Amino acid sequence: MGHQFKVLELYSGIGGMHYAVEESGLSASFVAAVDINEVANSVYKHNFPSSMLLQRNISSLTPKEVNALKPDVIMMSPPCQPFTRVGLKKDIEDGRTDSFLHVLAVLPELHSVQYVLLENVKGFEISEARNKLISALEMSGFSHQEFLLSSHNFFIPNVRLRYYLIAKRSPRKFCFPISSEVMTSFPFSLYSPEREKIVGSSCEVLIAELQKKLHDIFNLHTEDLLCETFSIKKILESDLDENQFLVSSKTLAKYAQILDIVTPESKKSCCFTKAYGHYVEGTGSVLCPFSKELIHQTFEKCKDLDEKSDEYTNLLRNLHMRYFTPGEIARLMCFPPNFSFPQSITLKQKYRLLGNSINVHVVALLFVLLVHEE
C-alpha cells in the first residue's frame, strides 16, 4: 500500500490513536490533533512535539478549516461518560455529546474524508448517539462495520471491552464480509506460533504480522507464545518503590473483600478506569506478588476475624497488595516503551488520562482493517 494517509485526530487525548497508526506500520501523516483537555494536551505535546495540536472545543471546528487540512482519515474517541454503566446515561441529552453531534452534522461537507475510526465504551452501541452516527455515515456515502472487542481477545492480559466502528466511503470496499450486526470477534485469524508461514489474503497477512509485533513489544519467548495470552509479569516494573503504590490499611479494612486481586502469573486483569487509585470497586485490579493459594489461605483466616481489628488488617498487609503503576497500565494498553508523561503530571492525573485512553494495539489492527483494500 503506497498511499500516505492523512489523519485528523479528534479527542486526541494522550495520543493513543497516533501511536496506533504508527504501530500499524502504514505510511501516514498527522494533519492535526484536537482536544480541549489541557492536561491531556500537555502529554500529547510531550510525546509528539512536532505535531500540530489544537487546544479547542471541537464544536468550533468549521468544515472550511477541516477541508483545508485535507484529511482522508478521521479517528476519534468521543467522551464516554454519557454512555458508561456508572454514569447517568443521558446520551445525547448530556452536554458532553455536543461536540460529537457537531462532527456528525458537518461530516457530509468533509469531502476529503474517506475513512472513519471511532472508539467508545460498551453501551454506545445501543445509544441514540450511535443511531445519529450511522445516519450521518450513510447520508455521506459510507459503509461501516461495528465491533465489541476486548484487548483480552488479542492475547493481552487485560479485559477492556470497547465499542469500535470503522467506516469507508463508497466505492471503497472492506477486505472482509461486513455484517449489519455488531461483530464480537475479529474477522481474521490472529498469528499462531504453530503456523510457520502465514497464508491468506494480503490483509490477513498484514494483520498476522502486526499481531506478531506484539510479541516483540513484550519481549515474549516461545513458551509465552504457546500459552497465547501472556502473563502479567511481562508488564511489571522491576525498579519500583513499592511503598508508593501499596493499598492502604484503611482501604484493606473496608474494601478487601471486593478487590480484584491478580498475581504476576495471572493472565487477566480488570479494565482500568479513570478512577483507579481513588475508588476501589470496578476501577481495576490490584497486584499481589504471592501465589493465589497464599491469597486464598489469608482470606480464609480473615473470615474468623473482626474486619475492624488490627489483626485482620495486618494479615492483609502481609500480602503486599499494591496498585499497578501508570507505566504498567500503559504497557497493558500497549503504549510503546518510549511513551512517557511530563514531570508536571500528578499520579492521579496519570490514572485519569490512561483510564480515558484506548488500547493501542487493538486500534492498530482495526486501522489496518479499515484502510486495506484488496
Longest CA pairwise span in the chain (Å): 69
Task: List pLDDT tens digits, range 316-365.
Answer: 999 999 999 999 999 999 999 999 999 999 999 999 999 999 999 999 99
pLDDT above 80 for 199: no
Domain that holds residue 261: 238-324
Considering the domain boundaries, does residue 337 fall inside one?
Answer: no
Is the pLDDT at 105 greater than 70? The verdict is yes
Q: Could you tell me if 114 and 177 lie in one domain?
A: yes
286 beta partners:
261, 323
The model's confidence at residue 194, banded by pLDDT at 50, 70 and 90, is very low
The pLDDT confidence band at residue 93, using thresholds 50, 70 and 90, is low
Do residues 9 and 33 make contact, with C-beta atoms less than 8 angstroms apart?
yes
* Residue 350 domain-assigned (yes or no): no
Both 15 and 152 in a single domain?
Answer: yes
Catalytic residue among 80, 203, 288, 334: 80
Same domain for 213 and 123: yes
In this structure, the answer to whether residues 73 and 100 fall within a common structural domain is: yes
Confidence at residue 90, expressed as pLDDT on a 0 to 100 scale:
66
Residues 242 and 154 in one domain: no
Instruction: Give how far Cα 245 sits from Cα of 248, 277, 278, 295, 371, Å.
Output: 9, 9, 12, 19, 41
Higher pLDDT: 193 or 176? It is 176
Beta bridge partners of 6: 29
Whether 62 is in a domain gets the answer: yes
Q: Establish whether 175 is a catalytic residue.
A: no
In 3D space, the residue among 46, 93, 140, 121 whose CA is nearest the CA of residue 274 turns out to be: 121
pLDDT at 203: 82
Asked if residue 224 has pLDDT above 60, the reply is: no
Is the separation of the CB atoms in 73 and 8 below 8 Å?
A: yes
Between 228 and 244, the more confident residue is 244
The DSSP code sequence of 310-338 is HHHHHHHHTT--EEPPHHHHHHHTT--TT
Contact 142, 167 (CB under 8 A): yes
Residue 358 and residue 80 in contact, taking contact as beta carbons nearer than 8 Å? no
Q: What's the pLDDT at 81?
A: 62
- Give tens-digit pLDDT for 108-146: 999 999 999 999 999 889 888 899 999 999 999 999 999
**Residue 221: per-residue pLDDT:** 60
- Number of Cα atoms under 13 Å in the Cβ half of residue 174: 20
Cell of 224: 509465552
Residue 198 pLDDT level (bands cut at 50, 70, 90): very low
In a domain, 349, yes or no: no
Looking up residue 139, the CATH number of its domain turns out to be 3.40.50.150
User: Does one domain contain both 217 and 245?
Assistant: no
Is 209 contained in some domain?
yes
**Looking at the structure, do residues 209 and 78 belong to the same domain, yes or no?**
yes
Label residue 370 by pLDDT band (50, 70, 90): very high
Give residue 97's pLDDT: 75
* Residue 13 covered by a domain: yes
Average pLDDT over residues 146-158: 94
Q: Do residue 184 and residue 258 come from a single domain?
A: no
Strands (E), 188-279: 261-262
Least confident residue range of 27-36, 94-103, 176-185: 94-103
Examine residue 265 and state whether it is found in any structural domain, yes or no.
yes
Peptide bond into 171 cis (omega under 30): yes
First to last CA, the chain: 10
* 251 lies in some domain: yes
Q: What's the 3-state SS for 7-61? A: EEEECCCCCHHHHHHHHHCCCEEEEEEEECCHHHHHHHHHHCCCCCEEECCHHHC
pLDDT reading at 230 higher than 70 = yes
| H-helix or E-strand spanning residue 148 | strand 142-149
Comparing 226 with 268, the larger pLDDT belongs to 268
Q: Using one digit for the tens of pLDDT, what is the confidence trace for 244-293? A: 999 999 999 999 999 999 999 999 999 999 999 989 888 999 999 999 99
Mean pLDDT of all residues in 10-23: 97
Q: Nearest-CA neighbor of 340 among 29, 33, 42? A: 42
Q: How confident is the model at residue 216 (pLDDT cuts 50, 70, 90)?
A: confident
Residue 279, H or E segment: none
Phi and psi at 260, nearest 5°, equal -95, 105
- pLDDT category of residue 211 using cuts at 50, 70 and 90: confident
Q: Report whether pLDDT(174) > 60.
A: yes
The tally of domains found in the chain comes to: 2
CB atoms within 10 A of CB 272: 26
Residue owning grid cell 454519557 = 82
Report pTM.
Answer: 0.92
**Which H or E element spans position 185?**
none
Give the pLDDT confidence score for residue 374 in this predicted structure.
64
| CA 147 – CA 184 distance, rounded (Å) | 6
Q: Could you tell me the pLDDT band of residue 201, with boundaries at 50, 70 and 90?
A: low
147 and 254: one domain? Answer: no
246: domain CATH number is 3.90.120.10
Q: Are residues 216 and 275 in the same domain?
A: no
Burial class of 155 by CB neighbour count within 10 A (0 to 12, 13 to 18, 19+): buried
For residue 151, is pLDDT > 60?
A: yes
Residue 92 DSSP one-character state: G
Question: How are the residues of the chain apportioned to helix, strand and coil, as percentages rounded to the nearest 5?
Answer: 40, 15, 45
Q: Give Cβ neighbours of residue 365 (< 8 Å, ≥ 6 apart).
A: 24, 154, 186, 207, 210, 211
Q: Are residues 215 and 286 in the same domain?
A: no
151 and 34 share a domain? yes
